A = this chain, B = another copy of it.
Amino acid sequence: MIDELRQIGTFSRRATASANHEFASQGLNNNRFQYLLRICERPGLFFDALAADMAVDRTTSFRAVQKLIAEGYVEKRPDAVNKKVRRLFPTEKATALYPTIHQFEAGVADRTIGSLTPGEQQLLAELLTKINAQL
């Protein structure tokens, strides 16, 4: 079982490294492409929810998003009712770039998971959901 655990790790590192390399020229390396994808897909998300969602360190996530804000990809707006939360929204610049990043991610998914039969893909999804629920 340890072997599966390690295979998941190396696969994950290889996949994210390829996207980081791909988007480095646009300042979206260091997993910033990932944060940006999530903010585009769930606008209004706030800092800690984003970090929890991605299962990354709160402060690392915070600073990555701060950089996205500084680069003009994300806008931070105060919540209407809760004075503590700052909601995150993609800018025009981000929504314009979103299809490209999404397509790259879809390409990786297609070249890897797409090599499985539809039945295997379905099965993989179920197995991943099961094991993820244990952590």
Contacts and interface: CB of A to CB of B under 8 A. Distances in A.
B7 A129 contact: yes
A2 B109 contact: yes
A132 interface: yes
Interface residues of A, number: 47
Copies held by the complex = 2
A135 interface: yes
A113 B17 contact: no
Interface stretch (A8-16, A69-77, A92-100): A8-16
Nearest to A1: B109
A114 B134 CA distance: 10
Interface of A: 1-5, 7-18, 34, 54-56, 102, 105-106, 108-116, 120-121, 123-125, 127-135
14 contacts: A5-B15, A5-B113, A9-B12, A10-B132, A11-B132, A14-B55, A15-B135, A17-B55, A111-B134, A112-B131, A113-B131, A115-B130, A115-B134, A116-B131
